[in-house]
């Protein structure tokens, strides 16, 4: 496996610190709102990475945190009249639902910030003890960036005035210093700590939870791979790395991976631009698997410009796969090793080259159709083809559905019954060669957005875009 390290800026052979095992940590959501397509993309990229690593035989420990306490959650709670716990719970559940809908496997561990306060306090104490942190008069605790000789090495920045836009706090020693602990003096949400009541800084969360829950063995790095969106490289990951480096005797991650943004109209999705696209809304119109296939279809490091035309083109590509699966429907066959698995692992093992993987799948579909035309009854062939679908489903997370259900997304039972009724009538008309009548019935189905195709096994139908 080769992965591109976004800190070293080169593609490296992946070598885990513990033989046969991978520790992977990805920054998860702050649960104050629904997940948008950008969250989906990030989750999908690292879900794919996890599947590929597992496909290569590694035992993967995949941690993804949930930030369930944060100013944004507090603000949302104030607006809605609910408690921060209720807000966090609501959006955590929504997040889990949305991720499940697009086939993102649950992580091995999903630590919550509010349940890890003691781990954070422990790290703060270490930083205080070692002189990397200081307390100001109001009780806030800051990380002293000047004491970390490695600071800014991650994001390749100069330590000058370029980091001057962070919140002005007069007592801070350096402008770039960031909060580890924010003291709370009123009755807003707070946690007890050796430093008094307060709330943890966001950056601290990941470092502390990694140290507490994910690190395994005494190695130069706490974990193998740390991932997240490209916008997290600075300051979030820079700060995480600094905290870990200064509180312990190791670096945070051996490899850093950052995924590109989902853009709309060429611009990054953001609330201020008003171009956020919630996953749950996309899921109303499209099968989660269609969204997964589309969002995963280009290389993870590049930006992904979302638009519906491309989504539909992408769906047509996935449709081909499911039409092939229809031809295998109703067959039970043992799962065997497939060449497809090997060739997919080869290209995906090259920094997740999904474009090549998709090309392989296209070629698989074409050749499978040809072979089925030539030998429709060949049981060995069918067994291999079905096994290939199993491979796809395991490795890439699509192709696992019932193919008929796939083509009937979103239709209610009454409509399906109506469609079948029309198709039966048409079949009868065809039988007596009343083509005028059968074509009229087909037109009626077309008007309903239904395409039909006559096959040796009878007439089948699909929803059209």
**Long-range contacts of 133-137, Cβ-Cβ distance < 8 Å, separation of 24 or more:** 133/180, 134/173, 135/195, 136/169, 136/171, 136/172, 137/171
- What is the DSSP secondary structure assignment for residue 409, as one 8-state letter? T
Site for RNA contains 302 (CB under 7 A): yes
Q: How far is the CB of 162 from RNA (least distance, A)?
A: 4
163: number of Cβ within 10 Å = 20
Q: How far is the CB of 249 from RNA (least distance, A)?
A: 27
Lookup: tokens for 368 = 């499978």
Site for RNA contains 56 (CB under 7 A): no
Smaller CB separation from RNA, 202 or 406: 202
Q: Which stretch binds RNA (CB under 7 A): 15-23, 135-143, 255-263, 413-421?
A: 255-263
Residue-wise over 242-263: b if at least 16 C-beta within 10 A, else e?
A: bbbbbbbebbbbbbbbbbbbbb
Site for RNA contains 280 (CB under 7 A): no
Site for RNA contains 297 (CB under 7 A): yes
Smaller CB separation from RNA, 164 or 249: 164
| Spatial separation of the C-alpha atoms in residues 39 and 72, rounded to whole Å | 17
Report the site for RNA in 197-236 (rule: CB under 7 A): 202, 228-236
| Spatial separation of the C-alpha atoms in residues 101 and 7, rounded to whole Å | 32
Among 95, 181, 221, 261, the residue binding RNA under the rule CB under 7 A is 261
Task: Draw the binding track, 370-399, toward RNA (x: CB under 7 A; -: no contact).
Answer: x--x--------------------------
Smaller CB separation from RNA, 6 or 147: 6
| Spatial separation of the C-alpha atoms in residues 128 and 107, rounded to whole Å | 32
Q: Which of 406, 424, 401, 415 shows the shortest CA–CA distance to 448?
A: 415
| Spatial separation of the C-alpha atoms in residues 293 and 48, rounded to whole Å | 11
Q: Which stretch binds RNA (CB under 7 A): 109-117, 118-126, 241-249, 310-318?
A: 310-318
Lookup: tokens for 316 = 């047509």
| Spatial separation of the C-alpha atoms in residues 374 and 391, rounded to whole Å | 24
Q: How many residues bind RNA (CB under 7 A)?
A: 84
Q: Which stretch binds RNA (CB under 7 A): 98-106, 140-148, 363-371, 383-391?
A: 363-371
Report the site for RNA in 104-123 (rule: CB under 7 A): none
Among 39, 112, 245, 325, the residue binding RNA under the rule CB under 7 A is 39
Report the site for RNA in 19-38 (rule: CB under 7 A): 27-30, 36, 38
3-state secondary structure of 65: coil
Tell me the H-state helices in 156-201: none
Q: Which stretch binds RNA (CB under 7 A): 13-21, 334-342, 386-394, 448-456?
A: 448-456
């Amino acid at each position: 496996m080769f992965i591109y390290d976004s800190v070293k800026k080169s593609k490296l052979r992946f070598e885990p610190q513990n033989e046969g095992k991978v520790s992977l940590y990805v920054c998860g959501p702050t649960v104050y709102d629904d997940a948008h397509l950008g969250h989906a993309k990030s989750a999908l990229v690292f879900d794919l990475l996890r599947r590929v690593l597992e496909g290569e035989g590694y035992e993967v420990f995949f941690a993804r945190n949930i930030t369930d306490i944060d100013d944004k959650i507090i603000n949302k709670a104030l607006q809605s009249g609910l408690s921060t716990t209720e807000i966090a719970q609501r959006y955590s559940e929504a997040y889990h639902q949305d991720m499940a809908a697009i086939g993102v496997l649950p992580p091995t561990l999903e630590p919550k910030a509010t349940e890890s306060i003691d781990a954070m306090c422990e790290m703060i104490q270490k930083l205080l003890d070692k002189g990397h942190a200081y307390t100001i008069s109001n009780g806030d605790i800051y990380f002293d960036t000047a004491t970390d000789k490695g600071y800014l090495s991650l994001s390749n920045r100069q330590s000058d005035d370029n980091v001057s836009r962070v919140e002005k706090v007069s007592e801070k020693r350096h402008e770039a210093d960031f909060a580890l602990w924010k003291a709370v003096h009123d009755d807003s949400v707070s946690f007890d700590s050796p430093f008094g009541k307060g709330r943890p800084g966001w950056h601290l969360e990941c470092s502390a939870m990694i140290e507490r829950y994910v690190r395994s063995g005494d190695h130069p790095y706490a974990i193998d791979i740390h991932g997240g969106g490209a916008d997290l490289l600075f300051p979030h990951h820079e700060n995480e790395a600094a905290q870990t480096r200064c509180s312990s005797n190791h670096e945070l991650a051996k490899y850093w991976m950052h995924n590109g943004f989902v853009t709309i109209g060429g611009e990054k999705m953001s609330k201020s631009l008003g171009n956020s696209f919630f996953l749950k809304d996309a899921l109303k119109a499209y099968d989660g698997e269609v969204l997964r296939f589309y969002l995963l279809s280009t290389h993870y490091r590049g930006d992904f410009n979302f638009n519906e035309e491309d989504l539909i083109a992408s769906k047509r590509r996935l449709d081909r796969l499911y039409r092939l699966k229809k031809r295998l429907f109703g067959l039970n066959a043992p799962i065997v090793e497939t060449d497809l698995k090997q060739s997919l692992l080869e290209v995906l093992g090259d920094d997740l080259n999904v474009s090549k993987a998709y090309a392989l799948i296209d070629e698989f579909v074409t050749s499978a159709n040809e072979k089925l035309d030539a030998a429709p009854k060949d049981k060995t062939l069918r067994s291999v083809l079905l096994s290939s679908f199993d491979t796809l489903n395991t490795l890439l997370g699509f192709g696992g559905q019932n193919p008929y259900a796939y083509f009937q997304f979103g239709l209610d039972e009454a409509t399906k019954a109506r469609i079948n009724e029309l198709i039966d009538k048409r079949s009868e008309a065809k039988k007596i060669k009343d083509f005028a009548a059968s074509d009229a019935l087909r037109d009626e189905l077309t008007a309903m957005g239904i395409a039909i195709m006559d096959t040796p096994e009878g007439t089948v139908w699909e929803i059209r875009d």
